[in-house]
Structure 1
Amino acid sequence: MATAELKAPDIVIRGRKVVGGVTEGEALVTSQTISGWGGVNPLKGEVIESHHELKGVSFANKILVFPGAKGSSGWSGVFHMTKLTGCAPLGMLFTITTTKAALGAVVLRVPTMTDFDRDPVEAIATGDWVRIDADKGEVQIWKGGRA
């Protein structure tokens, strides 16, 4: 399907670039922060943290939408390992900017944004199709996927 024939996004959110670039894919959304050290299996890109709403779910090849990082400074190392194992997210959108989350995005080298005009955790649902253009500071969302 040619780009001109594609349906316009249902929602557009603006924010600030953390890591530049463009990517798109299916969203995986959580309202809970993610612990890198001890909270993620880097060999599967899977959340393993006890009592986390995404426990047992992989963020590999998804757009990870989450409030931010928690825990130790090992967060970036664990997320870098997901890149090395081919289990990293395609892009990240987070609302709470910490050095852990920012450094994690930098070592992943995936388009990442923060400081939004609308909370992506509330605007995006798991399964929505998301296109991040971090260089333009724009996130496009197609509710329920992209037809």
Structure 2
Amino acid sequence: MSVMMYSMRCKSIVKGYGEGYAIASAQPINLLSIDANGKVNDSAHMLNGKSIANRVLVFPNAIGSSVGAYRLYAAKVNGKAPNAVVCSKADIITASACAISNIPLVECYEFDMLMKLCSNRDVVATVDATNALITLSVKDGVRDR
């Protein structure tokens, strides 16, 4: 099994550093659906039942109420928040959620490519939001996470 490395430039929204296995969604996320344990509870969402805890969360943008920011904060207080967040376009809900939770947030300029790389593979993502850089370590083959 081979490992390929990829680097992508990005726009830093909330500075910091985080890494972990990527968990990606092509669908926007309503942050109100994330419980205090970092689990997505939305039967209509592709991440329903999955945990974002200690992962790098990749999704296009948030939808719903600005109150959703506090759901991500609750997950952070419980040690169950993502280590970093990558969006195609950071909206006010996601930006405020990451800012109050001190979670690194970036906008990825190559979001479509990022989604392709994260599909059905184990990907360790490193987000350096201070230096505006995403680094991916991609294993060939089928995802085992």
**TM-score strictly above 0.5:** yes
**Gap regions ≥5 residues in structure 1:** 1-6
RMSD: 1.9
Q: Output the CA distance in 2 between the equivalents of 1:117 and 1:9.
A: 20
Q: Which residue of 2 aligns with 1:135?
A: 130
The alpha-carbon deviation at position 8 of structure 1 amounts to: 8.8
Amino acid at match of 2:35: N
What is the aligned counterpart of 1:34 among 20, 23, 29?
A: 29
Deviation by residue 1:85-105 (Cα, 9 ceiling, x = unmatched) = 111000000112211011011
Amino acid at match of 1:124: C
How do residues 1-147 of structure 1 correspond to structure 2 at under 5 angstroms? 10-37=5-32, 39-42=33-36, 44-114=37-107, 116-119=108-111, 120-125=114-119, 127-144=122-139
Alpha-carbon contact 2:117-2:138 (below 8 Å) kept: no
Amino acid at match of 1:144: K
TM-score with structure 1 setting the length: 0.85
The alpha-carbon deviation at position 61 of structure 1 amounts to: 0.5
Query: How many aligned positions are there?
Result: 136
Deviation by residue 1:4-61 (Cα, 9 ceiling, x = unmatched) = xxx9962111111111112211111111111122x1212x201101211110000000
Alpha-carbon contact 2:16-2:130 (below 8 Å) kept: yes
Identity level (%):
24
**Gap regions ≥5 residues in structure 2:** 141-145
